[in-house]
Structure 1
Amino acid sequence: MKVTQHIENAQGKPLFSFEILPPLKGQNIQSIFDSIDPLMEFNPPFIDVTYHREEYEYKELPSGLLEKKIVKKRPGTVGICAAIQNKYRVDAIPHILCGGFNREDTENLLIDLDFLDIDNVVALRGDALKNEIYFKAEKAGNQYASELVTQIANLNKGIYLDEDLQNSSSTNFCIGIAGYPEKHMEAPSVDSDVHFLKQKIKNGAQYIITQMFFDNKKFFDFVAKCRAAGITIPIIPGLKPIATKKQLNLIPHRFSVQLPDDLIMAVVKANDNDAVKQIGIEWCTEQSKELVAAGIPVLHYYSMGKAENIKAIAREVF
């Protein structure tokens, strides 16, 4: 079922969803099930599965030259989605990236997903690699998420890269995209971000999931800007509880997200990470309750394989 249909069927009752990442290469699928099982009591209608593109590593050869090696540390997104749908009978939503794929790769991936009865995808540009200053698309690949949305929407119309195909079948993906309440780190302003969101929606996107935020006012302001700009599709807030002191520096640096002073000082004064985890749970619980009270249709949690704190929050909210 499509995300938009889940929201319509809920008839105003808030839905709980979460996101996981594939395990490191060498681990088995049970590690994924172990992180999902504790959260199934809250009846998530869908679970997102991130995609991690390959990275480049360099190995020094006996000659002294460097050999570039492509490494994929977290493979398995498609297989995990199939396993989730088979085991839990809930919709699994894979993330689709521009980075690491040319257009033919993307088309073949989407065909596989269609064969697996996967109804939803999230279209993302993806981040630059560690050795890149700016994102670089693959040769003959989609440069921007808006182009990726167009390719997916074209498949929904039966338009393939090979224009000579006869009687081609159409896919029926519901397309999600990312939104940034505090703007994308490369965007000059929130208004410019909203402008490009509108372009993705024009190209075929049907719902938005936001980057994490820790101040609900930033989310509400973002939604107001979107609505004023004529964006009417569902906007799903992405939430993540702070769990360690290290995240005080890591989250603003990696995700270009501001942390409220009250949250920062509470974490700074905490005696250990157990205390930090409890602070994160309480902060995110209050965020969640306020969002539910405001009539937000779905709350989406970035669990990243850690179920304990998300479960504590969900028990207070759902």
Structure 2
Amino acid sequence: MKVIDLIKDNKKTTFSFEILPPLKGNSIEKVYSVIDKLCEFDPKYINITSHHSEYVYKTMPDGTYQKVNIRKRPGAVAIAAAIQNKYGITAVPHIICKGFTKDETEYALIDLNFLGVYDLLLLRGDIKTVEAAQLSTAESHNHACDLQQQVNNFNEGIALDGSKFDKPVVPFSYGVAGYPEKHEEAPNMDSDIFFLKEKVKNGADYIVTQMFFDNEKYYSFVNRCRAEGITVPIIPGIKPVVLRNQLTVLPKIFRSEIPEPFAIELRKCKNDEEAKQVGIEWCIQQCKDLIAHGIPSLHFYSLMASDSIKKVAKEIY
């Protein structure tokens, strides 16, 4: 079943989570260990992040510079297929614009269709670590809406070069990202929601939000979306705080505001273990409130947080 059906056909708030592929040299067992830890809560789908290569320039003995790729990870396509084959759980690889060419995207779609992975999350992707040459190239999509069009064309049997092929028996279904506290590059929330509405018009079946720690931000965002005619499910993205420094790091990186009552408790913590427990307690209350408001699904960001997510899930499922 596709993600949208898994959400709609469930009477209870569904559970899902996102994993990060391991760095080069690590086996898939690291991925499996996270899934095994959380399987008891009946995850309806598992997202797999996708990352472009990241480079540094290393000084050589002769004084020249050599470009070195420092962040190679296995592809989301391979990991999605492995997860779906081993666990029988719907896998949702992220397909991103920046750092990947349109041709690479087409190959990914061909492989995913062949492997029976039919759910995607379409994203522009973080551009902070993308080289200028990659940002300016016409070989990559500029925005998620452009990426949607390529996927929509593939569903109709239209290749990147415009040639026709037998369209897939099972078309791709996909979600897109939403930002309860506004995307950092959007001039205002009205503009942000305008483009989100365009993505829904273009075929997005659901929206997954950036992490947030203040439920009122999420409720306000949902209300504004509904007022603009956006009717698809809006799934809250949740992450338990696990480190003391995340009090300042998460707002800086993800533009997610930490509510003052939460911040006060985190400032009292003497070490990361205390901060982790405070993060679990806040997340439990946050999730209980969301469930009480009838949200269709909770989606957890598991990076460094799988143990905390397990403790939260035990309290709410």
Q: TM-score scaled by structure 2?
A: 0.95
Correspondence list, 1:1-318, <5 A: 1-10=1-10, 12-130=11-129, 136=135, 138-169=137-168, 172-304=171-303, 306-318=305-317
Distance 1:27 1:192 in 2: 41
| 1:151-176, Cα deviation, whole Å (9 max, x unpaired) | 11111122211323354546511111
| 1:241-292, Cα deviation, whole Å (9 max, x unpaired) | 1111111111011111110111111011012211111110010111101111
Q: Is the 1:155–1:171 Cα contact (8 Å) retained in structure 2? A: no
Query: Helix, strand or coil: the match of 1:58?
Result: strand
Q: Is the 2:243–2:272 Cα contact (8 Å) retained in structure 1? A: yes
Q: Quote how far apart the aligned CAs of 1:139 are.
A: 3.2
Q: Is the 1:128–1:135 Cα contact (8 Å) retained in structure 2? A: no
Letter in 2 for 1:92: A
* Inter-CA distance 3–134: structure 2 relative to 1 (3 Å threshold): farther
Q: Quote how far apart the aligned CAs of 1:61 are.
A: 2.6
| 1:73-118, Cα deviation, whole Å (9 max, x unpaired) | 3223222111111111101100011011111111111111111111
| 1:146-204, Cα deviation, whole Å (9 max, x unpaired) | 11111111111222113233545465111110000000011111111100001111111
Unaligned runs of 5+ in 1: none
Distance 1:2 1:130 in 2: 32
Q: Is the 1:52–1:75 Cα contact (8 Å) retained in structure 2? A: no
* Inter-CA distance 271–257: structure 2 relative to 1 (3 Å threshold): same
User: In the comparison of the two structures, how many residue pairs are matched?
Assistant: 317
Q: Quote how far apart the aligned CAs of 1:71 are.
A: 3.9
| 1:42-97, Cα deviation, whole Å (9 max, x unpaired) | 10010001011101211223331212233443223222111111111101100011
Q: Is the 1:157–1:171 Cα contact (8 Å) retained in structure 2? A: no
Query: Helix, strand or coil: the match of 1:139?
Result: coil
Q: Quote how far apart the aligned CAs of 1:129 are.
A: 3.6
Distance 1:126 1:18 in 2: 18
Letter in 2 for 1:3: V
Distance 2:231 2:133 in 1: 31
Q: Is the 1:49–1:95 Cα contact (8 Å) retained in structure 2? A: yes
Q: Is the 1:100–1:138 Cα contact (8 Å) retained in structure 2? A: no
Distance 1:304 1:294 in 2: 26
Distance 2:91 2:253 in 1: 26
Q: Quote how far apart the aligned CAs of 1:133 are.
A: 8.4
Query: Helix, strand or coil: the match of 1:136?
Result: helix
Letter in 1 for 2:180: P
